Homo-oligomer: A and B are copies of this chain.
């Protein structure tokens, strides 16, 4: 048994409650309980599971201001941001309640028997998706509510019918414990086995490793650093039974400033860019860490406006001392790199507070040094000045996988945009025009994912309703008597509202 303390992000000092860590025994207990709860939980009706998700949302709200105050202290994020994030967290749970009720996630398919087919009859075949099993979730420090204990990974896994064991993020133990208590209340209120949700407390990587390698865990959701995600992916791949890891890791989110847009509104774009860059102290997965522009009219106005806005940006408290230190060393490395010029820096800050920094370089220098394309988590960005469209395309083709790419464009940029779109499709999960990547809508058509290393698995998303698919796998039933079939696959289940593919024809 050891103890650890919550840290105040603003001071870097221990504060708030102390937590008792009983080491690996808690992993064993949580995984055993999750495994024991799995069959009962996956057998719940869609309505029961949806109501459970809604109850979690209600219980989170019922925590009241204690939750907001704890999250403010532990993350350094302001009240308005955290109140909004709480709403997002509840909204996600309710979105998945609706998804569970609608039932399309089951991918029901029925190929009726063809007893008279020659040369061989066709048997009756029916397919549904079932949950994969208990899921381990590692939340992010930068969204202590929406991407943490009851965040998108937890909500989508519970929606799929998987028990969840969360490894609480050590940067916000009090926030995590409060949310975990809300989920536990919902579990009890809905009459579900306690093992449907488990919460592990402790600062160590050993705890996470034990969780990922526990044979009862069937999949992993993770949001965090590239090093952390890769470590978990390697652990999962080297298990006797490998399991999928959905790790959302690193992205510098290229923003393309197209010639006509720059010409029309270079200065306005520069100001708006800094608004996106400095939001949440730059601590977004979708932070615009890379600007790409072709030399031409309006680029100087963009640079002047952006430089001015960065210079005036106040220092902001970083989530943790470690993140602040990594930001300082990452930006120092950029500042010292060949061919890189520091354009502007905000208030330098001290202790756990850091300021925004904007760099610029040439396409040639950027292409020559892959380190310039590494994520620096925080409000750091680098403008790459390209001589022409060919150089711009070369930079895009050389990029690693990204969560997003943004086009600032006018109608007259359409030809260039049409040229780069196929390149971007192969690099990113979301392409957006005339906005900023830092807003990630929770909806059906969202992809918060992308090719490696943006994520470890580009076949999916961690935000939006499609995230439920990560925790499902198909099972086929051949010539199984109706009484033994899952209810949703019986002929008489037509009234239940879930779409079914019957002999290849989608039927509502």
Q: Mark A373-410, 1 if CB is under 8 A from B, else 0.
A: 00000000000000000000000000011000000000
> Does A23 count as interface, using CB distance less than 8 angstroms?
no
Copies of this chain, count: 2
Whether A504 and B446, one on each chain, are in contact in the complex, defined by CB atoms closer than 8 angstroms, is: no
> Does A449 count as interface, using CB distance less than 8 angstroms?
yes
Q: Which of B125, B446, B476 contacts A125 (CB 8 A)?
A: B446
A479–B444 Cα distance when bound, in Å, is 15
> Does A358 count as interface, using CB distance less than 8 angstroms?
no
Which segment of A56-64, A236-244, A268-276, A294-302 sits at the interface?
A236-244
Q: Mark A422-449, 1 if CB is under 8 A from B, else 0.
A: 1001101111111100010101111101
List chain B residues, Cβ under 8 A from A501: 104, 444-445
Q: Mark A103-122, 1 if CB is under 8 A from B, else 0.
A: 01001011100000001101
Whether A474 and B102, one on each chain, are in contact in the complex, defined by CB atoms closer than 8 angstroms, is: no
A452–B481 Cα distance when bound, in Å, is 27
Whether A447 and B504, one on each chain, are in contact in the complex, defined by CB atoms closer than 8 angstroms, is: no
Q: Which of B133, B428, B441, B472 contacts A475 (CB 8 A)?
A: B428
> Does A499 count as interface, using CB distance less than 8 angstroms?
yes
**A99 smallest CB distance to B (angstroms):** 8
Given known A-B contacts A125-B446, A475-B431, A506-B499, A132 and B244 have beta carbons under 8 A apart:
no
- From 119 to 139 in chain A, residues with beta carbon under 8 angstroms from any chain B beta carbon are 119-120, 122-123, 125-127, 130, 132-133
A480–B441 Cα distance when bound, in Å, is 15
> Does A330 count as interface, using CB distance less than 8 angstroms?
no
Which segment of A24-32, A185-193, A316-324, A460-468 sits at the interface?
A460-468
**A102 smallest CB distance to B (angstroms):** 7
Q: Which of B107, B430, B444, B449 contacts A111 (CB 8 A)?
A: B444
> Does A483 count as interface, using CB distance less than 8 angstroms?
yes
**A167 smallest CB distance to B (angstroms):** 22
Whether B430 and A459, one on each chain, are in contact in the complex, defined by CB atoms closer than 8 angstroms, is: no
Q: How large is the interface on A (under 10, 10 to 19, 20 to 34, 35 or more residues)?
A: 35 or more
A481–B456 Cα distance when bound, in Å, is 30
> Does A418 count as interface, using CB distance less than 8 angstroms?
yes
Q: Which of B127, B425, B451, B452 contacts A445 (CB 8 A)?
A: B127
**A15 smallest CB distance to B (angstroms):** 31
Q: Which of B432, B435, B444, B459 contacts A127 (CB 8 A)?
A: B444
Whether B110 and A445, one on each chain, are in contact in the complex, defined by CB atoms closer than 8 angstroms, is: yes
- What are 27 A-B pairs with beta-carbon distances under 8 A? A109-B444, A111-B441, A122-B441, A126-B445, A127-B444, A127-B466, A132-B459, A234-B237, A414-B483, A418-B484, A431-B480, A432-B478, A432-B479, A433-B479, A433-B480, A433-B481, A433-B484, A444-B501, A445-B476, A446-B476, A447-B474, A447-B475, A447-B476, A451-B473, A459-B473, A460-B473, A460-B474
Given A111-B444, A430-B477, A459-B474, 7 additional A-B pairs, CB 8 A? A123-B439, A418-B484, A430-B476, A432-B480, A459-B473, A499-B506, A506-B508
Binding site for B on A (CB under 8 A): 39, 43, 84, 98-99, 102, 104, 107, 109-111, 119-120, 122-123, 125-127, 130, 132-133, 233-234, 237, 241-242, 244, 400-401, 411, 414, 417-418, 421-422, 425-426, 428-435, 439, 441, 443-447, 449, 451-453, 456-461, 465-466, 472-481, 483-484, 499, 501, 503-504, 506, 508
